[in-house]
Structures are given as C-alpha cells and as structure tokens.
Amino acid sequence: MRGKEEILNVLKNGLKFSSGDEIELLYLGRESSLTRYANSYIHQNVKEGNSQIRVRVIKNKKIGFVETNNLTTEGIKKAVKDAEEILNFTKEDASFVKLPEKEEVKDVKTFFDENLKVTPSDMADKVKNVIDKASKKSLTAAGALSVDFEEYAVVNSRGIEVYQPYSSITLTTVIMGEDSSGFADRFSMRFNDINEIELADEAIEKALTGKNPKDLEPGKYEVILSPYAVEDILFFFAYLSFGAKSFHLDTSFMSGKLNEKVFGENITIWDDGYDTLGAPISFDFEGVPKKKVVLIQNGIAKNVVYDSYHAYKFDKENTGHALPQPNSLGPFALNLFMKEGESNLVDMIKNIKKGIYISRFHYTNPIDPKRVIITGMTRDGTFLIEDGKISHPVKNLRFTQDMVELMNNVLEISKERKLQRGDAHVSVVPYIRVKDFNFTGKTEF
C-alpha cells in the first residue's frame, strides 16, 4: 500500500507535464494474497501486486491515452508525452465536451486495517476448516480464498483530486462427491466476517442431497433461483441494459421505455455506491461521486447510469458510473440492489406443486442482447420440487430464457438477501420464485 499522500503527489506531478487542453491521471493499485485448494489440499499460496497509471490527454477534441507502471517522475513524464504524441494520429471526437468538474466526495468506510494483519497461516486455517468438514463426509473440496487491497486515485486538470483505499475478501468452494457437487461463496470487506464453517455446511448439504441425480425432461417449469443465480441475471442487465451507452444506441430493452412498465410490479432495482449493506465505493474512475440511481421502480423503467462523456453528450446528469477510460462498455452499474420481498425459502418451496430449485448458473451467455435472452446451464445442485418438498436431485439442464420476461414472472421474493461479488460488480440479491422458466436441453451429469 503506497498511501494517499504518495499517490496523489505522483499524479499531481504528472499534471505539469502536459501541454494539452486537459489531462486526467487515474491510479489503480492492487495487492492480492491468494490461497487455492483442490482435491482437499492447498496447492497454491501466492502474493502479487501491481500499480499502474492511466493517462488521458485531450487537445482540440482529440484524446490520447497511455498506461504505465513506471511511477517515477521520468516514467510519468514519458507517459504524458506519449499520450500527446498519439494525438497526432487520432481523429477528433465531436461528442467529447470536457473532463468532469470537481465535486464533494462523501466519506465512506472501505478499508479495514485489521485485514493487514492476516497471515498466510490465517488463510490456510480457514481453508483447512472447509476441507476438514468435507473430508468428514467423504467429500472433496476445491476453491480459493483471496485477500485483496486496492487503491484508487484520480487527479485531473479541472480540480478533481480524490483517493480511496479498498479491502475485500472472497472465499469460494465447490464440494464434490462421485456424482454430485455443491457450491458456496462468501464476500466481505473484513476477513473475520467470513464464516467458512457456514460456507462449508451450505456446499456440503447440496453435495450430499444431490447424490444419484435423475433425468428430467426439458420444458417450462416453475423455479426457485438462489441469490447466486439472481446475481448472474442482474449482471446481464447491468452489462446489456442499465448503461447510457446501450440505452442511447437503442440496444437496451429500456431504450424508449422510460416511465413505462417493463417488469412485474414487485421488482425494484437500484444502484448505490454508498450503501454499506453492499460493498461501497465513493467515486467512479473519473473521480465523480457515486449517486444513487433507481433503475426499476415497482416494475417501471426509471433511469440508466451515466459517466461524464454520455452525460455531456445527451445533456443528462453524470451519476458517477464511469469505468476506466477509454472503454467500449460506457457507464456501468457496479453496486446493484434488488428490493427484498415478504417470503422465505421454506414457504417458496411449499408453494410449488412441481418445479425446480436452481443453486446457480454456469457458462451463461447472451444470444439476444437487446431482449436479454440468455443461455446457460444449471450447476452444483439442481433439485426437483414436488408437492411442496424437495423430492430428489436432477441432472443439470440447459436453459434459454428471456430475462425481461422472467422479471415479469416473479411470484415471490424472499426477505433474505445475500451480498454477492460477481466478475464485474457487487450486488445484494434475494431468492426469487419464477413461473415458466424455459429449459431447452438436458445433460448426462
């Protein structure tokens, strides 16, 4: 960890080397400790770190970009000059207006010093507890535990000067039997909040219950989706639909439908970078404060998220959702929440005459981005529900599902929600019960 003063001094020093109209310097630093395990033993224990500075120089609506991990004065100077050299080979972007202006950034706790005291032995102990619980049931365990420290900082020629440290811990496991498996993960900003015993119990129960799965014919079924599956769905909405770029390109299902009903009335989804029930972060990768954005309210499409480029281009408020620039995705909702309901998992199961419980999805991909039609597989615990009870495990199924349609078919939502860390965002999501989920194929496992 380099610390606020050192990083900001490096970035501010870089401002003076530019002869462009505007300049932005973004610092991204990361130190990561990783313990991996498979076949019920630890096979990898590594620690790595990397720091980089991303430089954007703007002149006459031309944008030059360079990144470097040489953080010396000469290294930064060279990166700035290289970015300016690139301007000679770049076309003007008529839609670019200016870099964002300085705004007040609220304080939010994102770094916990106690995590700095975590040793490789502490990490091994947590993993060992998972392995031991699996071994007692004649099951094998695999997965990973990571302890990550990150630092973000942005300085630009319009007065932005912000810094934030960030700590996060992720533990995942797959518990495997001869013909069954169970998955669980936990994410927190504090190492001691990771409950590996609870995680192991969850995955072990699925692996034991999932023994001797039976064939099930594809078709439309009522389903219960766990938070692992719901998180996957919300990711695709964030990736394909909730950003200003796709909205204004008419490639989002929300395009032209603001203030219209698009989901069921029981669905409310928002993005909030300051909510401590999630994994807060106070500003985006341009240094703009995060703003709470209600995306779907009682089924009605209300808003999409913006960065400075699209806010200026379309005369909208910048909501603080920029990714590191430049990028092809545009603004992105990174801190998603789905409103809880009044039900619980036990009652959801009781309310199903015949249906399927889905623990999580695997290998999901979009096949129709605008309509958010996704295909994928079930994995690590798929069970048939009959007459209000789990009757037996079933072999994994392939699905092809219109996710907008799914959000109109939600029958129940749980009070319980789980904090999930996906590949590109974090979310707080419930269990949901859904009618007419479309399975299109089956497997041999």
Mention every residue, 6+ apart, whose C-beta is less than 8 A from residue 82: 64, 66
Q: Report the C-alpha gap between 382 and 355 in whole angstroms.
A: 11
Domain ranges of the chain: 4-200, 213-445
What amino acid occupies position 122?
A: D
Check: CB of residue 65 under 8 Å from CB of residue 79: no
Backbone φ, ψ for residue 202 (5° rounding): -60, -50
The rounded radius of gyration (Å) of the Cα atoms in the chain is 24
Exposure letters 361-374 (e unless 16+ CB within 10 A, then b): beebebeebbebbb
Where does residue 52 fall: left (phi above 0), alpha (psi -120 to 50 degrees), or beta otherwise? beta
pLDDT, position 424? 72
CA distances from 284 to 10, 162, 215, 335 (A): 20, 10, 47, 11
88, 231, 297 from 167: Cα distances, Å: 40, 21, 31
Q: Is the full-model pTM beyond 0.95?
A: yes
Complete DSSP assignment for 8-54: HHHHHHHHTT--SSEEEEEEEEEEEEEEEEETTEEEEEEEEEEEEEE
Which of 65, 71, 67, 70 has the alpha carbon at shortest distance from 85?
65
Count of helices and strands (H, E) across the chain = 9, 17
Q: State the residue for tokens 């399975």.
A: 439
Paired tokens of 184 = 């669980």
C-alpha torsion 152→156→159→165, nearest 10: 0
Beta-sheet strands, E only, within 190-232: 219-225
Outline where DSSP puts E strands in 194-334: 219-225, 269-271, 293-297, 300-301
User: CA–CA distance from 317 to each of 244, 301, 304, 337, 414 (Å)?
Assistant: 11, 17, 10, 21, 33
Cβ–Cβ < 8 Å for 389, 257: no
Euclidean distance between CA atoms 36 and 143, whole angstroms: 6
Query: 360: which strand partners?
Result: 379
Q: How far apart are CA 204 and CA 226, in angstroms?
A: 16
Of 144, 149, 175, nearest to 381 (Cα)?
A: 175
Architecture of domain 4-200: 2-Layer Sandwich (3.30)
pLDDT truncated to tens, each residue of the chain (445 aa)? 899 999 999 999 999 999 999 999 999 999 999 999 999 999 999 999 999 999 999 999 999 999 999 999 999 999 999 999 999 999 999 999 999 999 999 999 999 999 999 999 999 999 999 999 999 999 999 999 999 999 999 999 999 999 999 999 999 999 999 999 999 999 999 999 999 999 999 999 999 999 999 999 999 999 999 999 999 999 999 999 999 999 999 999 999 999 999 999 999 999 999 999 999 999 999 999 999 999 999 999 999 999 999 999 999 999 999 999 999 999 999 999 999 999 999 999 999 999 999 999 999 999 999 999 999 999 999 999 999 999 999 999 999 999 999 999 999 999 999 999 987 789 999 999 999 999 999 999 9
Check if the beta carbon of residue 57 is closer than 8 Å to that of residue 26.
Answer: no
> What would the two tokens of residue 243 be?
């950003």
**CA of residue 427 relative to chain centroid, distance:** 6
User: By three-state DSSP, how is residue 7 classified?
Assistant: helix
> Which 3 state secondary structure label does DSSP give 344?
coil
